Amino acid sequence: MGMYKAAISMGVATVIALILMIIVVTSMTSLVTKIVSENPYTGKEKVQWEVEYHRLCSQLMEEVAGGGKCDPNEIGTEIKENGKERWYTLTEIGSKLEIPEESIKDQCCKEKNEIGYSEKSSGGQYKKCNGSCKKSCDESEIEINGTECEKFGKICCRKLPNAFSSIGVAFCLDTHPEDFKTEKHIKKAVQALKEFGAKFIRIDLNWKDVEPERNKYNEKEWEWYRHLIKTFKKNGIKTILVIGVKARAPDWAKTLKDENFKEFLNILYDFSKEVGKRLGDLVDYYQLSDEENTLAHEWFSSSEEPEAYYVMYHGLLNGDKNGKVITIINPFGSGEWKDVAKIMKNKKAGESIKIIAPDPYPGVWEPFASSDQGVKNLCKDINDPSHPFYGKIGGIMETGCCGIVGDQSTWIKNNIPKMIKAIKECNQKEKYKIKIFCYYDLFTGDMNFGLIDENTLKEKKAYYVLLKCVKTGKC
C-alpha cells in the first residue's frame, strides 16, 4: 500500500511539474513577444535594449541548464554544462528566446536592470562600463567616467571591491583635519581609501580656524578645506563633513552660547549657511555635532538639541545651491539610545536628521556589549513603526579599537566579521537598511590605535588585518 501511494504521489508531482513548465514557457514566449513588438528603437538606438536582463537570464538558466548564475559584470551568462563553465553570449540568449540579434548587439544601458555594456562607441572615445548605467550611483558603488553610459546621459556605476559593497553598504574611514600635516598625508589617505574600496571619508570642520572672530573669515583655511575635499572627490571618494562640535568651535561662539542661546542659534545658522555656500558643491553628507549623548562631547542640552539641529540643517540647505542636504547624528554606544530617541520625537529634530549612525565600541569603552549588539539594536529601531528612528537610514559612524585597552588586530578579528554578518541579515530582511560603515581611525600617533602612523606614514599591522576583513568579510 505504501509503495502504491508513493507511486501515485510521484505521478501527481510529475503532472504538476509539467503544468508548471508549460506555464513558464508560455509566460516566456509572451514576455519575448512583448519585448520584440514594443521595442521602439531602430539603428544605433537599438543599443538601448529594454530587456530585464536578470529576469530573462534566470528564466533561461532554469530552462536550459536547470539553474545557474547571472553575472552583472560581463556580457553573457555563466552556467555549468557537462561539468564545465562556459559563457552564453547575448546573441545566443537572443537566439534561444527568438529575439533578433541586431537588438542585442552592442547593448549598453537598459532602462530597468541596466546591466551590461558595449565594447566601445564607433568614435572610440568611450570605454565599456563593466557595471551598471544609472542616473546616480548608490552608497556601495563608485562612478566611472568616460564610458558608453554617457551616450545616454547616464553614469557608469561599479560595485566597490569589498565585503561591505556586496551587501549594499558603503565603507568609510574616519580621520581629522589636523592629521593632514602635508600633501604626503593627503596622498597617503587617498591611497588607503582606494585600497580599502572606501566610498566615504569622514572629517571634521574646525569652526575656530575658518571663523576665528565673529563674521571674520580666514580665506586661506576655507581654501585648504576645498583643496582637501576636492582631492578626495577627484579620486571618487565622497566626504562626510562634521560641523557643530564644541571642541572645534571658536571661544567667542562658546561664550555666546552660554550667555544668549537665542542669539547663538542665529550665528550657528549663519555659520552653517556659510559652510553650505563654500563647500556644498563638494560635500556629500553632513554630521551634526558629535556624540551628544555623552558628557565628554555634549554641547547642547536635551531641550537645545532639536533647535541646534534645525538651524544647522536649514543653514546648510539655504547655503548649498544644490538644495539637497543629507544629515547624520552619531549617538555613542550600542543602544538603547533612550535620550536620543526622546529628542528625535521633537518635530524639528525628526525633520532635520536623515541618517542615524551610532558609534558602538564593544569591548573597548563598552566592555559588556557584544560585537553585533549596536547593529542589531539600530536595525530594530529604524524598522519599528513606534520608534522615533523609524524610517531613517542606518549607519555606523565610528567603531574601532583600542588605545591602551587590548590589541587592535585581535579586536578587528573578533568583532568586524560579526558586525558584517549582522548588517547583512538586517539588509536582507528589513525594509529600512544600514547603508554606511565607518572605521575609526585612519591616522594616529598611538601605536595601538588607528591604521597609519601619522608621523612615519607607515601602515600598522592592524591596517592589513582590517584590509583582509573588509575585502573578504573574513579575518
Q: Are residues 219 and 118 in the same domain?
A: no
Q: How confident is the model at residue 445 (pLDDT cuts 50, 70, 90)?
A: confident
In 284-376, beta strands by DSSP E: 285-288, 326-329, 355-356
* Domain endpoint, select from 117, 141, 159: 159
pLDDT above 70: percentage of residues in the chain = 73
Q: Are residues 153 and 212 in the same domain?
A: no
Q: How many residues are there in the chain?
A: 475
The pLDDT tens digits of the residues spanning 368-412 come to 999 999 999 999 999 999 999 999 999 999 999 986 667 899 999
Label residues 136-174 b or e (16+ Cβ within 10 Å = b). ebebbbbbbeebbbbbbebbbbbbbebbbbebbbbbbbb
Average pLDDT, stretch 32-36?
Answer: 35
CA 370 vs. chain centroid, Å, equals 24
**Residue 13 belongs to a domain:** no
- The region of weakest confidence among 45-49, 159-163, 291-295 is 45-49
Percent helix, strand, coil in the chain, to 5, is 45, 15, 40
Task: State the total domains in the chain.
Answer: 2
**Residue 431 belongs to a domain:** yes
**What's the Cα-to-Cα distance from 277 to each of 270, 317, 320, 322, 325, rounded to whole Å?**
10, 9, 5, 10, 12
pLDDT computed for residue 92 by the predictor: 54
* Domain endpoint, select from 109, 129, 159: 159
Q: Is 17 helix (H, G, I), strand (E, B) or coil?
A: helix
Q: Are residues 155 and 171 in the same domain?
A: no
Q: Are residues 194 and 316 in the same domain?
A: yes
Q: How confident is the model at residue 458 (pLDDT cuts 50, 70, 90)?
A: very high
Q: Are residues 66 and 181 in the same domain?
A: no
Q: How many Cβ atoms from other residues are within 10 Å of residue 304's Cβ? A: 17
Residue 157 exposure: Cα atoms within 13 Å on the Cβ side: 17
Q: Are residues 78 and 115 in the same domain?
A: yes
pLDDT computed for residue 437 by the predictor: 98
DSSP string, 74-112: SSSEEEEETTEEEEE-HHHHHHHTT--GGGTTT----SS
The whole-model pTM stands at: 0.74
- Are 345 and 353 in contact, with CB atoms under 8 Å apart? no
The pLDDT tens digits of the residues spanning 306-320 come to 999 999 999 999 999
Q: How confident is the model at residue 141 (pLDDT cuts 50, 70, 90)?
A: confident
Bridge partners (DSSP) listed for residue 285: 240, 326
Q: Are residues 194 and 256 in the same domain?
A: yes
Q: Are residues 152 and 175 in the same domain?
A: no
Whether 301 has a pLDDT exceeding 90, the answer reads yes
CATH of the domain at 312: 3.20.20.80
Residue 81 sits in which domain range? 22-159
